[in-house]
Structure 1
Amino acid sequence: MAVNGVHFNLGNDTGLRHVYVDRDVQNGQTYYYAVVAYDRGYVARDENGNIVVDPEGFIRGIAPSLTTATIKTDLAGQVVSLDINTAVATPRAPAAGYVPPEVTAFERQTIGTGSVDLQLAAPEAVQEGATYEVVFENPSLWQNTPEVSYRVQRETGEVLRKGPCRRD
């Protein structure tokens, strides 16, 4: 899409994703990531639905807008600051003999027929020998309101993380 002479590739509408795994990385190489929200802008159209073009041949309208994605580095290339929408990662090989954590047992107590898929998004946060419980709660008697929340806790009841669930 070109608006006022600036070209934008807005990608495809493939739905919301809450996890991204970059599998094509090299150990020791630093990677910079940004996740931003954007809108599609506005393309002016006439009363027949045709795109309006100015005398120079540019499409009339308002360019898409983005949230910020700023990574500042010093002269040596070291990261000085990141904004809330960015991250820096340098993958490394795991230590010799490292065995990643895995789900060894899964007990599902649900109402309904939906599916549940377990993935360890942060395996480095799992403590060896610990047992965790993930609880989803809906305050409605019939479990049909959108105010669903979650809680991750240890077997001891210590709450590690909690919050509202997001819906795709």
Structure 2
Amino acid sequence: MEIVADDNKVQLVGEPLAVGDALPHFKLFDEDGNKVKMAELLGKPLVISVVPDLNTPVCSVQTKKFNQQADYHQNVRFVTVSKNTPLEQKNWCAAEGVTNLSVLSDEEESFGYATNLLVPDLDVLARAVYVMDAEGKVVYRQVVPNIGQEPDYLAALDALEQFEK
């Protein structure tokens, strides 16, 4: 898949997960450097917000918006994934007051390759939002065509309504 970054077309490592796909196996790291496996994220509906770099304005806004939404969706797990190191993520969360969602590191690119969201030419993840059911099946997907633009938050949040009935 091709996306735009800084007015240049770049390729992802493959075709990202589609609606109906199962979340593949991967590992991420929490703010303390502990391994978090895909299976540990399941058990309730899941929103995965994927950002290229937390230390940039658009990624910061995206993460803070989902952090705010986590208060309104108590039965949903919210996760942000980036390639920032666990220490960078921990420092960013402390500075920005982000406490309602988990921020996980894909510094080893396990998630990026498993979901095909890695942009190898830029060494970042593509900007994306996934909503999964409790078993890890994709019910909503948005891969933002221009990495510098925000996702459609309302569409992602609308996908959560099916779990709140």
Same fold (TM over 0.5): no
Band of TM-score, shorter chain = under 0.3
Relative contact order higher in (CA < 8 Å, ≥ 6 apart): 2
Q: Structure 2 length normalisation: TM-score?
A: 0.20
Query: If each structure's helix is expressed as a fraction of its own residues, which one has the higher value?
Result: 2
TM-score (norm 1): 0.20
